[in-house]
Structure 1
Amino acid sequence: MGVGGIGIWQLLIILLIVVLLFGTKRLKSIGSDLGNAVKGFRSAMTDADKGADDEADPKRLDAAKSEQASDSSGSTSDAASSKPADKTKV
């Protein structure tokens, strides 16, 4: 007995019928397409996991927001410090 009550001879006959119907070239292209699809799915899942980790980590988000705020506040503080200096000169 083989897989699920199917013997080895039944599996070989099914394989032979599939090869006769589709041909080896077509089966090869189907196999490579299926392999590429699985590869793409795995890479998308790992990319999604990495993105979910970044979104789920509040420390990283807070650090990124504080860096962004310091960058923007640094440029406004320079402009703000030059404006009062201009007013005092006038």
Structure 2
Amino acid sequence: MGFGSPLHWIVLVLVVVLLFGGGRVSSLMGDVAKGIKSFKKGLADDDEDVARAKPAPRIEKQSAGTIDQAAVRDEQKLDG
């Protein structure tokens, strides 16, 4: 009687039903299903929020040889 044998699963299900009763097991499964549905809905809402969000402003990189003129002006203003 290994872990994957059908007899093992039948005995396991019978023990669970006897311990908890059929009504409690079915209500527990209903609660699990509701949790899964709300989780999926939350994921879908997050995807919609991301799609509606504005794209981030694009920052252009400067090559190593160029100087940012605005930064030079700001430094000159701070120096005096």
User: Fold conserved (TM > 0.5)?
Assistant: yes
Query: Match for residue 14 of structure 2?
Result: 16
Q: Secondary structure at the match of 2:27?
A: helix
Residue 32 (1) aligns with residue 30 (2): yes
Larger relative helix fraction: 1
Structure of greater relative contact order (alpha carbons < 8 Å, 6+ residues apart): 2
Q: Identical aligned pairs, as a percentage?
A: 30
After TM superposition, give the deviation of residue 52 of structure 1 in Å: 1.1
For structure 2, the 5+ residue unaligned runs are 57-80
Q: TM-score, normalised by structure 1?
A: 0.56
Report the aligned-residue RMSD.
2.1
Correspondent of 2:40 among 30, 39, 42: 42
- Runs of 5+ in structure 1 lacking a partner? 60-90
Structure 1 stretches (4+) deviating beyond 3 angstroms? none
